[in-house]
Structure 1
């Protein structure tokens, strides 16, 4: 019996390479069909999972205010979820009825004003050039400056306004095209928030089985990352919303064109660490430059003042130092995220970098203590 068993094992050892070779030949022969089949199923699977992904993102964002309501006001889960989604629904309805029409009108007006704005800038350039007095004996200096402004600054301002308009329009079209998925995502997010603990328990059970000895370390990392990202996004969103409202009011008071539109852009760009407020200010100045140089100068001054007040008062109060990322690492993280991951990556770059720096400091401290212990021994 043992002999028969050994012979069978030897036969299997010879058969397995033959079977694998045959399968490999079949795969190579029908490679294009297999790739097409996998691609189609991945596309179908992604479309099916899209509402769940949207629901998870919505639930993750609203989880922080829900926890705040439950801990501060001792509300039950159902009531806190109902309050949060009620407020969100009111904001969406208000924006759709009163803000979106204004933005659409501003975008259409901006498109029609671009040719006139270019002429305004060109006449301004000519006025400045004719009034310049050069102390150096270089007859080409004036011509070079004029050509630089016309060939670089004017096209830059035009493309900036066009890009902003296209981004907003594309964003609206994406929201409309994803209406069904967003609706399903909202429903899924409600179920996720209502049964959050059960979902976390299931994830913990599966993670323990898969990760085994590494479970505790990875759980700690995920908890730290979750706390950093969740708290940072909510705090930064509140800070940016207040900043956008203040910018809108100030721009309206100084008579800026498209005050509401520019205030929304300022709020959105302020979510981008370090570079965001600068981008919002540049956009506001360039758009106002289409109509009046004096108005653009006033907008530049007031935007710089509001930006400094925001960085000195609002951001420390809401965001604080909870991510603990030095400016040099902030610039590096935002630059790399902007190149490889897009807006979401830029938004998450600072809290993620904060977590990585925390673990790097832990490692350095551990190695330093180990070195001291070795020297003492």
Structure 2
């Protein structure tokens, strides 16, 4: 048997390059946690670059002047949003945390009333079944109550670290300013310190990745923002007309976050919520929540194909897989970073993916 050493050396070389690339990307993202403010600033600079170029083109302004003008607008939007959001979340979360014991006591009493009804009716359960249901219900309510309380406590603890967060925010904003105003200088420095072929490949990949990331972030941000705006307006209207709505901002943020996840969507929160409040006797609120969910679904179905389709070329199952993998490796932040990493990998290994990864490695 003749072994084609030339062929197998090529295969080993391709496998080695693939492994080195994957390890390099993994290490890059592990190290990037330390430089997260700079990465956030870089992504934000990609998003506001079209606005800077628009001012340069239409008003004939210099890059620095356009960058400062757009930067100030972004600063006002982010600053105002953070101040309003943080104060409202702290207020609502504190109030919600204080009232949780009453909510779960009320829920337990209602479940006991249901059990007593079945016990006194002809549809009687055996004593063992009643005991099992009562124990399971008590355990579930206790565990769920503790989980919610811990989550809200952690949220409040997070906001007590505002001095540390402020440092990250300041570094991010300063980085954004310098990246926007001195983009040409930064690009010249990169080209000066790298071999020409490396610099060329880096700029090609960066342009493609920037384009794909821009599409992804704009699509997700638009969909989440639309869901958030519709839900918070609807919830505040419900509150104004006298429906039993508390903590509208927290609820709207939760709906917006869940709506960003593939497959789940806002219905996974709003439908059970509507059913529970209707069973609790508040039929009007249950109907109102379903109407709000219907409006959100119609709007999302109308705008989603125009925003997302044909932009990323990634099936939702792979997006979900990327989110889960990111969550396992990096926690909650990985849910957001997972799809971004997938987009970058898809761009870097585009040739291998188009040919078939295994096939391209073992092709002669």
TM-score by length of 1: 0.68
**Residue 225 (structure 2) pairs with residue 206 (structure 1):** no
**Residue 85 (structure 2) pairs with residue 102 (structure 1):** no
Partners of 2:46 and 2:349 in 1: CA distance: 28
Partners of 2:174 and 2:348 in 1: CA distance: 37
Corresponding position of 2:249? 260
Given that 1:236 and 1:315 are in contact with CA atoms closer than 8 Å, whether structure 2 keeps it comes out as no
Larger mean CA deviation between 304-313 and 241-250 belongs to: 304-313
**Structure number with bigger Rg:** 1
Residue 325 to residue 307, structure 1, CA distance change in 2 (3 Å) = farther
Partners of 1:310 and 1:191 in 2: CA distance: 38
How much does 1:337 deviate? 0.9
Residue 162 to residue 285, structure 1, CA distance change in 2 (3 Å) = farther
How much does 1:274 deviate? 4.1
Of 32, 36, 61, which aligns to 2:44? 61
Of 189, 211, 219, which aligns to 1:235? 219
Corresponding position of 2:170? 183
**Residue 53 (structure 2) pairs with residue 70 (structure 1):** yes
Deviations 1:15-58 (A, max 9, x none): xxxxxxxxxxxxxxxxxxxxxxxxxxxxxxx9xx97x7524422
How much does 1:217 deviate? 4.7
Larger mean CA deviation between 235-244 and 191-200 belongs to: 235-244
Partners of 2:77 and 2:269 in 1: CA distance: 23
Residue 143 to residue 162, structure 1, CA distance change in 2 (3 Å) = same
Larger mean CA deviation between 334-343 and 84-93 belongs to: 84-93
Aligned residues: 316
Corresponding position of 1:318? 307
Given that 2:319 and 2:339 are in contact with CA atoms closer than 8 Å, whether structure 1 keeps it comes out as yes
**Residue 158 (structure 2) pairs with residue 168 (structure 1):** no
Partners of 2:147 and 2:268 in 1: CA distance: 10
Residue 144 to residue 340, structure 1, CA distance change in 2 (3 Å) = same
TM-score by length of 2: 0.70
Corresponding position of 1:91? 77
Deviations 1:188-218 (A, max 9, x none): 3211111112212322333326xx5x66555
Partners of 1:134 and 1:176 in 2: CA distance: 62
Given that 1:228 and 1:323 are in contact with CA atoms closer than 8 Å, whether structure 2 keeps it comes out as yes
How much does 1:98 deviate? 4.1
State the secondary structure of the residue aligned to 2:255.
helix
How much does 1:334 deviate? 1.2
Partners of 2:143 and 2:153 in 1: CA distance: 15
Of 206, 209, 215, which aligns to 1:225? 209
Residue 336 to residue 249, structure 1, CA distance change in 2 (3 Å) = same
- Mark the runs of 5 or more structure 1 residues left unpaired by the alignment: 1-45
How much does 1:138 deviate? 5.1
Larger mean CA deviation between 225-234 and 127-136 belongs to: 127-136
How much does 1:268 deviate? 4.0
Of 209, 215, 229, which aligns to 1:245? 229
Corresponding position of 1:146? 134
Residue 178 to residue 235, structure 1, CA distance change in 2 (3 Å) = same
Given that 1:66 and 1:84 are in contact with CA atoms closer than 8 Å, whether structure 2 keeps it comes out as no
Residue 101 to residue 300, structure 1, CA distance change in 2 (3 Å) = same
- Mark the runs of 5 or more structure 2 residues left unpaired by the alignment: 1-30
Given that 1:229 and 1:348 are in contact with CA atoms closer than 8 Å, whether structure 2 keeps it comes out as no
Deviations 1:308-362 (A, max 9, x none): 3354134333344422221221221111111112333321322432454566674
Given that 1:330 and 1:350 are in contact with CA atoms closer than 8 Å, whether structure 2 keeps it comes out as yes
User: RMSD between aligned alpha carbons?
Assistant: 3.9
Corresponding position of 1:294? 282
Of 305, 330, 339, which aligns to 2:319? 330
How much does 1:111 deviate? 1.4
